[in-house]
Structure formats: structure tokens, C-alpha cells
Structure 1
Amino acid sequence: MSLGIWLQGRPALSQTTDLEQYQKGPATYGGAELERTTRELRSLDSPSQTTHEERYQQALADFRAGKLELAVRELRVLDSAVARNALGVVLETMGDHGGALAAFQDALRLQPDFAGAAYNAAKLLMRQGRTSAAIFQLQSTLEGRRGRDDTTFSLQMLLVEAYASDGQDKRAAEILEELLTERPGSAKVRFYLAMTYASLGSLDVAVRHYREGLRLKPKDSAGLMGLAKTLLKLRKGSDATPYLQEYVRLRPNDAEGYYILGRALRDTGRFKEAAETLLQAARLSPEDYDIRYHSGMALWQAGQVEAALPQLEAAQRLKPDDVPVRSALTRVLRSLGKEEAAREESESAERLGLRKSRQDQA
């Protein structure tokens, strides 16, 4: 739902009123043309010869070229809302969050209805964990807006994020339901409604919104995973499986997709397919305890006991104090006739269990 970074506010001189969006960090624009423009603009020695617009555009050129210190120097001398907002963007890119927030607030002091600066300030406040301040900022900005344009929509969606981060899921749902009446064809609103209702425990309603969102945007990976996880919570593993299969088709290098698919297959008794899928997850993420543990369990349930052993041993190495993996290793080792090793694992599991019990009682 990110808009990227909003740089522009009210037009300064020849600027248009459209919102520009730039990702953080330097962009790769035409080097020769950029350098030519840079030289021409810097040849204007006198402040009287260099207009606000030219200095602003020069700062943007420096930003795109990765010359952040130069961009900051240009922007600091420009006392306009658009320049202060751009300064905040550059400072945030440099990791100066305090300076960035002050710049965004300066932009809002100069132009209180500057939606781009309000969005940037609220987003930064949320990153800092100051969710209540972000909510107040967004509410104040939205109160002054009467239209139903894309800018207002983006601010409302960020407010939904802020409410969700603050645990106010019911308030988030209210805003989303209002937005749905205005934008019934928005897959984004459907997916956020689904996530919000899932957080509220209304899983069937969440499933309905996920399905509608995927009807509008069938290849949305987050929507596919969200629906699958919700169906798994409803113990509908068979229904979740095709969505997970589509997810891993779209994202073949994502270990989580194979892991969740493997769990779904295992839960529905398809142990051989589950084992193959979980092994693929383990190849992609070999240091993940859960993946290794469930790979070993699926292989054991599929009758591939020897193949299960190295997976469970890897899981035990990753989490040596975990009782379930010790117990699983005990069973596998006994199945392989390794009684002495099984006895050692069993005793370790008992000791760890007793220690955990004492810690829980303390």
C-alpha cells in the first residue's frame, strides 16, 4: 500500500500540481543529460540568477544521482513547503529520521494542507513506533479534505495501517467498509478487509473478502497466502492447497510458500507430497528450525525413516533445547535400531522437560 515517497506539494513557479513519487535512494537516470543539466544550473553563480525552481530541480537531480549531501545543501536554503518535504525525503534516505521528521513538519507549517508531507510524516512516525502521533497527523489532514481522489484514498489506507498497528482493528474495518462502498472494484481494499477481519477472528468473512480480492487480482501473492493461511486456521487444508500451489508457482524461491504448502499436505495425509515439498523448503532455507523439523516428521510419516534422520538432526542442532525434536529423534532412532542413541535422546528429552516444567512453575 506504499506510495513511495511524495516529493511535491503546491506548485512552485512552473511546477505542476501532480504528486511525484520517488523511491528512496538514487535512481538511474540518463547520465550524460543529467550531467549536462547539472553543469548548466551550477553555472548560474548569483542567487538572483538562480530561481527557486531551478535550485529545487537541481536538488532532485543530485538526489537521483546519489549526491545526497549536495541535495541537502540545495534544499536547506529553499523556504517552501515543497523544498522542506523533499529535504525530509533526502534526510530519511540518509538515516537522519529526526531531521527528516522536522523537515516534514516544517513543510506542514508552511502548507497545512500538504497531503504528501502529511503522508511522509505519518509513515515515518509509524516506523518509529509512534503510532498514536501518526493517527493524529492523518486524522488532522483528512479532516481538511473533502474530495474522494486518489490522494485521500492513500491517506485513508495509511490510517487503516496505523489503526491496525495500534490494535484498533474495528476502527480499521469501519474505514475499509466505507472505502469499499466507494471503490467496490478495489482488490487492495478487499485484501485489507480480509486481513482485518482475520485479526478480529471473523475468519469466514475474511475468506469471502480474500476470494473476492483474488477474483479481481488472481495473481496477488499476498492474497493467495493470506487466504490459504485463513483456510488452514479453519482446518480446511484441502481448500488451501490449490492456492498455495499457485503461490509457489508464482514465487518459486520462497521457502515459506513451500513450508506452508507442505504443512497443508501433511495435515491432509498426503505425506509423500508433503515430504517432497518440505525438502524443497529446506533447500531454500536450511537454517530454519520449523522447516527442518516438519520435513523430518513428514518423511517419517511417509515411511522414509532414514531420510528423516538428517532433517531432525539438523533441527536439533538449530534448537538443542527443544523437547519435541528430541522426542522425534528418539522414535526415529529406535525405528532404525539405534537403541543406544535413542536412549540418550530420550534421557535428554526427559531432562529438558523437567527443566522447562520447573521454569514454568517458578
Structure 2
Amino acid sequence: MKEASMISARSADRTGIRGWFFASGLSLLLIVSGCRRESPEGPRASGTESTSAPSDNVLSFGRTFPMLPDAAASREALTKSLREADAQVSASPDDAAPLLNRGRVKSRLAWFLSPQEKLRLTDEAEADFERAAQLSAGGPGAAAACVELARLRLGQYRFAEAVPLCMQAESADPQSPEVRALKAVLAAMGSGEWQACIERLKALAPELEKSESSIKAEVFLARALQFSGQHEEAEPVYRKVLEQDPHDWSSWNNLALVVQEAGRTDEAQAIQERLLPGGQGDLLGANNLAVTLNTQGKNQEALRILDEVLSLAPGFPAAWLNRGVVLDGLGRHEEALESYEQATRLLPTYWDAHRNRAWSLMILNRPSEAVEVFKRLTSVDPADIRALGGLGDSLYQCGRWREAADAYRLLIKALPEDPDARNGLGASLIELGDFDAAEPLLQEAVRLRPDFASAWHNLGLIAQKRSKPDEAIAAFRQAVAADPNFAPALSKLRDVLLAQGRKDEAVAEIQTVLKRAPANPLAHLALANTYYSIGLLPETVAALTAALQLGDDADLYLQRGARLIEMGRHDRALPDIRQAYDLSMSGEVELCAYAALFLWAHQDEFPQRPDADPMLRAVRAKLQDKDWPARLVDLALGATSAEAVLAAAESDGHRCEAWYYAGESKRLAGDRSAAETCYRSAVAVSLPEYYEYQFARRRLSAAP
């Protein structure tokens, strides 16, 4: 096994993964009360009190604005309207217009009720609309009723049912501006082409303004602008809507998200908390408050609320996306991926969820799967810069340098001043051996962003490849100065200095970094590896101990255990290797396998001989047959031969490991001569960064 280095297994040596997780509200509810754009942050669960009292001051959005109405006042006003609507229906039970009006009042009042009451009132509104459509027998009345039913279906995330309702409305009144507006929105939901929808809505605005429908032109337009990402343009439109109707809770809800996108999270939270009347609230409002809370770092509260929202509305795609973003922030990437996948199952055209799913796959070191998702995204929208960047990064991680370079070129064409795109293309060209083309791209990247650690690091690699150590050292120093936590540059700086025989300087460089960032475990690991490179084992162990004092890490425990074995301190090594095994069993199964193999290989040297076989069997049950460590575990358990393992080795690293563990198998069986032959073969592979290489050398040096 290769010793712990400072480069994460999931990050490229040259280009880092962009942190472009997208939190967005599902503006599919464009025409539904409670529509909003997604963003992963903590909605408030029903029955939960606000952590901060809602402000009674006038909310300022760049100009004097009417006070956000009290939920109780809005509920009371709409309840009064409902009583009046009931009286009108009683007076004319066979007239479609009063039924249509009552259904609209009920659908608005439902926002202010508990989830159970909301479902009841929404069902009643649906019955009113259906009855109105029947009584209208075609014509404008039937069209208006079908439009309202479509809005309800969208609010219930029954998207597929909204389309035939729109078609029925169009059949009843093809000239209705409301129907044409609804049709434009549904088309954009299916295709993602929101700009065309916006232009259509702007053209329909004069007709919609003259209509008696409850749907306002500004509401359609504001939500389309919001969903297309044009938040600055959406905010003044929402202001106009709310000046006309301050009880439009849906538009307040969406305005809060627009305000949050502008970075005014306190204003957003003030609105969202007021939108949750008496702690009951609407699921959309709770979802959106969760977004704000997560932005403020209250991710556990956000997750709790989102889980409650989804327990009541499991078909809520935006809440699944937001839950994924919260889980990603907590480092629970497998669960995040499941949440994104659930969002895309519920809504296959939910491109933000697809994009986040791809980034989770990248973090989980599954770049080939991410490539396919990013390709789909760029086929839907060739101008999607986030997808283009992701496609370049995922292709790079797959080692598909030429394709990655093509993706980065497209990104540079779209964003000529983007340093990330230039760095990505430069890194790909380095892999292709075209240093002359890569260098100016990277120089431009650091000009655009002088503290761009990755680009400085890549310039250092070019200098190193050209055998210009002084230039390489200068570039790596720039990278480390820009970001002392950027492990690849620190590692390369150390390597170049050591190659020049400047051992003291290599140690001093890392000690300088530790003065700036004493809580950086990667810097302590770098120091440990540097000490090890110059043969200072006690200092190596001390540096690893300092790294472990900052937090448990299975890889570091395994490395310290290995170094202690080399020092002959098996008494201290045993608990470290056991700890590495225990920490990695639930996640990093391959690392767990190596910990069990270490215990098996050195079992006769520990003061208390460990029973390695049960540990080997437990980890083997979690490994797949195709996993390389599974073959080594089978060898240790006597389930396969050394010849079979060597035949399956696909790299020098595999061969080094196979020869070493074959030697241990022979040694433990009492055949020392055969064991030494295997150890010599392991050393001949010449991979000093592998533990097995060092162990094999140790065995040979101890041989009589």
C-alpha cells in the first residue's frame, strides 16, 4: 500500500474540483402559491420556535417597502373572504364564477394552515374548480378552471398532470392569455429554455393585465426570471407584485430567496420566519427557511427541518435537492448523492439536481459516472458553464486529457477571463506533454488571480519537467504562500528540495507553513514524510503524532504503526494498526484490508499475538472479488496461491505488494529461503513510497 501522502484520493494533482454545488428552489412552482428557487438551507419544522424574533420594523429592500403583513391578519382577511365566497355559492350554486372565486380563495388561505388543514382545504378548492369546469361546459370559464387546477397540481408536485389540464384549457379557450402563459411556463419546465419563456410572458403582459384572472403578469414573469437565475431582475418585479397585494405569501416567499441570492441573509430569514404562522407554516416556506439556515452554518437544524418536510411531502424535489446540499456540507456524500438521485427521479428535467449529483460523484471518486451526467447537461444547454467546468474536471480525473482540454477550451470561449478554465486547460496540456502551450495559459491564470495556488503549482511542475529546479522551487513556494493548506504544492516543494540535497531547507519550509497554520494536519504529515525521507524515524513518528492530535485519521494511524514497526516498537504499533482497522471498517474498506494484512504479516512479532484471521475474514466479506486487496487477503487466508495473485497484478505497486505478502506467507510457514526470494523481488520493483517495499527491505536487512 502506498504511504499516506498529502494529496487527497479524490482531488486531481493539478486541478482541484470546483465547489459548485447548487442550492436552488424548485421554481416549477412558478405559478403556484409557494413557488421558490432552491437553495439548501434549513427550513423550520412545524412547531419549532424561531431562533430570533421577527422584526416589526419596515423591511428595506433598497427603498421604503410596506411592512410584511402578519400571518394572522392575512389568515383573518382570507377567512372573511371565504365566508363571503360561501354565501355567493349558496346564492348561485349552479353558477361557475362563484365556485371559481371560492376555489381561488381556498387555495390562498391554505398557505396559512397546518399541513393537514392545508390538504383538506386544497381538496375542497380542487372540487370547486372541477365543478366550475363542468358548469362552464367549455369556453373561458372552463379554461380558467383548468388553469387553476393545473396550478394546484404543480403545487402538489404532480407535474405530469398539469400538462393535460393545460391542453384542456387551450381547447376550451385557445386565445386566453392565462392559458398561453401557463403553456409557456410548462414548456420551459420541460425544456429548460427559460429565456424564451420570459420573452413570451413579456409579450403577453398587456393582455394578462386586462384579464380578470387571479394570475398576474408580474407573478409569472418574476418567477420565470427567478428560475432562470436572473435574480436582480426578479426582485423589482416581486416588489411591484407585493405593493399590489401584500398578502401574496407566495411572492413574499420567493422574494426572500431572491434577497438571499443577493447575500442579504438576515432580510431573507426575517421574511421566512414571518411566513411560518405560529410555527405551522407551509412546507415550501419551511424548505426555504432551511436554505437560509444552512447558509448561516446551522446545517443540523436545516437537515432536521428538511427531513420533517419530506416526511410530510416525499414528492418534493426541491427539498430533496436541498437535503443533498446540506448533507454534502456535513461530509455525508453518499447520502447526499441519494438525495440528488431522488430529486431527479421525481423530476427528470431538474438540471440543478443532476448537476449536484455529478459533483457528488466527483467527490466520491466516481468521475466516469460524473462525465456522463455533465455530458447530458451540456447537451441540454451548451452554454451551461458549470456543467462545462464539471465536464472538464471529470474528464481530467478520468485521465482523458485531450477531451478535458476540449471542454476547457469551450469554457474559456464562454468565460475568457476565467482563471479556473485556463488552469484546467494548462493542466490537461501538461499531461499531454505540451508544456509550451500550457505555460502561457497558467501565467495568465496567476495574472488574473495572483493567489491561485493550483496554477502556481502547475507552473512549478512545468519547471520541474524542464529540469529547472530553482524555477520550480520558486513556483511551489508561491503556491504554498497563496494557500498553506494546498498539499500537492507543499509535497512537490519538499521533493524538489530533497532532490537538490537541501534537506534542512525542506524541513524549514514545512516548519514555516506550520507556524502559519499549526492546525493543518497535512502540513504535519508533510513534515513526517520529509523526516522519513532523510531517515529520521523518531522525528517522523513525532510529526505523525502531532497530526493525529488534531483528529483521528485511519491512514495516519496506519502510517504511524508502520513506522513504529520499522523502529522495532511493535508494542506501540499494535494499537495504532488496530485503531486504523476499526476506523476504516465502516467506510474505507481497502485501507481496512491493509491494516488487517499488517497485523497478519507481523503477528509473530507483537508482544500479544493478534488473531488476524477473523479480521481478515470480516474485511474480505466487504470487498468485491475485483478489488485488488481482496486477492491479498485471500492469499493471507490461504484461499489462493502467490502465483495467482502475481498473475493478477496490473501495476508495479500491485507486484511489490504481491511479492511482499507472498514472502510473509512463506516466512510464517517456515520457508525462510523462499520468503527472502520474494522479498528481493518486492524490493526490485523499487517503489520506496510503498510500505511493503520498506517492510521487505527490513526483512532482508535482518536476514542472517
TM-score of the aligned structures, taking structure 2 as reference length: 0.38
Indicate the larger mover: 152-161 or 105-114. Answer: 105-114
Once the two structures are TM-superposed, the CA of residue 267 in structure 1 deviates from its matched residue by: 1.9
- Read off the aligned partner of 2:530 and give its amino acid letter: D
CA spacing shift, 1:142–1:23, aligned 2, 3 Å: closer
Partner of 2:25: 6
1: CA distance, partners of 2:338 / 2:498: 54
Distance 1:286 1:129 in 2: 22
Alignment of 1:79-94 (within 5 A): 79-93=281-295
Instruction: Confirm or deny: 8 A CA contact 2:40 2:324 kept in the other structure.
Output: no
Cα separation, partners in 2 of 1:262 and 1:173, compared to 1, 3 Å: closer
**Structure 1 unaligned runs (5+)?**
25-30, 328-350
Matched, 1:158 2:356: yes
2:84 is equivalent to residue 65 of structure 1: no
The question of whether the paired residues in 2 share the 8 Å contact of 1:293 and 1:325 is answered with no
Matched position secondary structure for 2:412: helix
Percent of matched pairs sharing the same residue: 19
The separation in 1 between residues aligned to 2:487 and 2:362, in whole angstroms, is 29
Measure how far apart 1:203 and its partner are: 2.5
- 1:202-281 to structure 2, matched below 5 A, reads 202-271=400-469, 273-281=471-479
Q: Figure out how many residues of one structure are paired with residues of the other and give that number.
A: 325
For the residues of structure 2 that align with 1:117 and 1:82, how far apart are their CA atoms? 8
Output the aligned Cα RMSD. Answer: 4.8
Does the 8 A contact of 1:135 with 1:159 survive in 2? yes
Which has the bigger relative contact order, CA under 8 A and spacing at least 6? 2
2: distance between equivalents of 1:180 and 1:97? 31
* 1:77 matched to 2:279: yes
Question: Take 2:398 and 2:486, find their aligned partners in 1: how far apart are those partners?
Answer: 29
**Are 1:314 and 2:508 matched, yes or no?**
yes
Distance in 2 of aligned mates of 1:12 and 1:181: 28
* 1:210 Cα offset (Å): 2.3
CA displacement at 1:191 relative to structure 2? 2.5
- TM-superposed CA distance for 1:161, in Å, is 1.9
Equivalence for 1:135: 337
**Equivalent position of 1:176 in the other structure:** 374
User: Which one-letter code corresponds to 2:317 in the other structure?
Assistant: A
Return the match for 1:34 from 29, 48, 60. Answer: 60
Decide whether aligned partners of structure 1 residues 40 and 320 sit closer, same or farther in structure 2, where only a CA change above 3 A counts. Answer: closer
Please state whether the residue corresponding to 1:65 is helix, strand or coil: helix
Q: After TM superposition, give the deviation of residue 321 of structure 1 in Å.
A: 5.9
Query: Aligned-pair distance for 1:55?
Result: 7.3
Judging changes above 3 Å, is the alpha-carbon distance between structure 1 residues 22 and 201 closer, same or farther for their aligned structure 2 residues? closer
Aligned-residue offset at 1:254: 2.7
In the superposition, relative to structure 1, how do residues 8 and 264 fare at CA in structure 2: closer, same or farther (>3 Å)?
same
Does 2:37 match 1:19?
Answer: yes
Structure 1 residues 23, 224: CA separation in 2 closer, same or farther (over 3 Å shift)?
farther
Distance (whole Å) between structure 2 residues aligned to residue 115 and residue 282 of structure 1: 42
| Cα distance between partner residues in 2 of 1:107 and 1:11 | 20
Deviation at 1:264, TM superposition (A): 1.5
Residues 248 and 142 of structure 1: CA distance in aligned 2, closer, same or farther (over 3 Å): same
* Partner deviation per Cα, 1:180-222 (whole Å, 9 max, x = no partner): 3322343433332222222223233222322233233233222
Whole-Å separation in 1 of the counterparts to 2:248 and 2:481: 53
The one-letter amino acid paired with 2:397 is S
- Alpha-carbon contact 1:84-1:106 (below 8 Å) kept: no
TM-score, normalised to structure 1's length? 0.66
Quote the offset at 1:248 in angstroms.
0.2
Which of structures 1 and 2 has the bigger CA Rg? 2
Q: Is it true that 1:120 corresponds to 2:322 in the alignment?
A: yes
Contact 1:315–1:325 (8 Å) recurs in 2: no
C-alpha separation in 1, matches of 2:485 and 2:363: 29
Does the CA-based 8 Å contact 1:290-1:315 persist in structure 2? no
Instruction: Determine the C-alpha separation between the residues in 1 that align with 2:283 and 2:71.
Output: 26
Matches within 5 A, 1:321-340: 322-323=530-531, 326=534
| Residues 1:198 and 2:396 are matched in the alignment | yes
* Distance in 1 (alpha carbons) for counterparts of 2:40 and 2:346: 25
